[in-house]
Structure 1
Amino acid sequence: MGVVTAGLWAGWLGGTESGPYEVWQVAGLVLSLLVVVCWAAFRRHAVAAVAGTTAGMTVAAWCDWSDDSTGLFVIGVALVLHGSLFATALVSTLVRHVARGTRWADR
């Protein structure tokens, strides 16, 4: 999962030489990751979906942004780590509940 995620990062966000990413680039990455995470969680690989996606996003962000001479890229990488961890955990949990047919009221 980590390699797939890093590849998606490179495919969607790679090649940007200067300035911020375009909205369509980030939206494409998010939608692609959503498909991959949902597929993995549905196939009972929710832990791999969460850990692999989070690791892949974090490593890709570090590699992409580490040439920042101010050192502030570390804050961005930390935000990517926490955001991807939270988002993939939430999506994986929802997919697993839907896949099992568990209603929230049954918990």
Structure 2
Amino acid sequence: MTTMTRKRILLGGLILAAATVGTWWAWLGWDTEYTVDPETGATTGPYAAWQVAGCVLTLALLAAVGGWLLGPWVVVPVMTVAFTVAWAAHAASTDDTGLWAVGAVLVLVGTAAGTAVVSVGARLLRRRRTG
């Protein structure tokens, strides 16, 4: 691996990490309010379905572009750690029950699985196109 390739991968990884944290903030990080149904007393939130869907689609786009340009071996750990740390730091600061840790594990596993599938798929498409 050349020095230029290492620099490109490092810079790409840093940009990908920043974009991943930015995605968390843009879709989920700003919303901290829960909604209580006055009739049933059921509590929902803090995220609406449209926020989660937008976040997942944005992360999928990042994973696809990252897989195409950098490869899954960069995308999966960078996006998984960046998103999980952003989510967990916020959740830990707002949760009194300690259940944020369970959520963090679920976010970690889901993000790793999702980024792996999408980035490997993008990399395979790139190989197919160029090979």
TM-score if structure 2 supplies the norm length? 0.72
Q: Which has the higher contact order (CA 8 A, sep 6+)?
A: 1
Aligned counterpart, 1:64: 90
For 1:11 and 1:44, how far apart are their aligned partners in 2?
Answer: 24
Q: Report sequence identity in percent.
A: 34
Give the CA RMSD over aligned residues. Answer: 1.4
**Larger Rg belongs to:** 2
8 Å Cα contact 1:4-1:56 kept in structure 2:
no
| Structure 1 gap segments, 5+ residues each | 103-107
Counterpart AA for 1:86: A
Counterpart AA for 1:62: A
| Structure 2 gap segments, 5+ residues each | 1-15, 35-44
Counterpart AA for 2:124: H
Aligned length: 102
8 Å Cα contact 1:13-1:25 kept in structure 2:
yes
Aligned counterpart, 1:105: none
TM-score if structure 1 supplies the norm length? 0.87
Which residue, 26, 31, 36 being the options, matches 1:11?
Answer: 26
Q: Which runs of 4+ in 1 moved over 3 A?
A: none
Cα distance per residue 1:17-57 (max 9 Å; x no partner): 22210111111111111111111111133222111110111
